[in-house]
Amino acid sequence: MQGAICLDILKDAWSPVLTLKSTLISLQSLLCDPAPNDPQDAEGKLTTPRKRRANESVAKHYLTDRASFNKTAKHWAQAYAQAPANKQSREAGKVMTDAEQAGLSEASVVQFTEMGFPREKVVS
């Protein structure tokens, strides 16, 4: 598993008109609505049967044992992408702010809101 992403606008359908925001929205859409019944060969490199089976095994894991798949995905996100361990702040009982949940520092959000930007737009 290489971690490649099969998203047409990153390759064949790329256009200079696309913004980073539209690209990230497309990526978010793909991640929120996976197609495990049709696992993709994102880079066209899954030429060996072993590599194809590995790719298909992720999709099979997703389809057959979603709880275990989610646990594995959470582990990978925390281990390799520095994802937070949970949605709670380090202080017991304190819920994270919308800025923290979006991966932003509260200080940065305050700076932008003081410049006149609406908080909802800064955090989204």
Active site amino acids: 6
Q: In terms of C-beta density within 10 A (0-12 exposed, 13-18 middle, 19 or more buried), how is residue 84 classed?
A: middle
Residue 102 has φ and ψ, to the nearest 5°, of -85, 0
Best CA proximity match to 118, nearest among 88, 100, 98: 98
Q: In terms of C-beta density within 10 A (0-12 exposed, 13-18 middle, 19 or more buried), how is residue 113 classed?
A: middle
